[in-house]
Structure 1
């Protein structure tokens, strides 16, 4: 049985992918897209690249001290 546990970062990535996939630059609605997440250990950066115009959007969360 798969665990239902997801980290807060995974839940936030899912939230972005569920509600924030319309490109503010060209208006393209990327229904099948998702945000990607990368971490350095001190920063988590979420990124979405618009498949229509190539615009890159980022959301950054600092875990720093």
Structure 2
């Protein structure tokens, strides 16, 4: 694995390390993580709770 990761990869890793508790039901997903998608000037991070299927989305806009 490369030591030089993009800022977007580092942000996803931060979410994976600290943001895995579902805000809806409180379930902590120790096996999962955030999905990352990009489209144009946006990078979207999404966490889907395996317990209640709630979706949490964070978005970074590139200008």
Off by >4 Å, runs of 4+ in structure 1: none
CA RMSD of aligned residues (A): 0.9
Aligned length, in residue pairs? 63
Query: Taking structure 2 as the reference length, what is the TM-score of the superposition?
Result: 0.94
Unaligned 5+ segments in structure 1 are none
Unaligned 5+ segments in structure 2 are none
Query: Taking structure 1 as the reference length, what is the TM-score of the superposition?
Result: 0.91
What CA distance in whole angstroms lies between the structure 1 residues aligned with 2:2 and 2:22?
Answer: 33
Larger C-alpha radius of gyration, 1 or 2? 1
1:32 maps to 2:13: no
Q: Which moves more between the two structures, 36-45 or 51-60?
A: 36-45
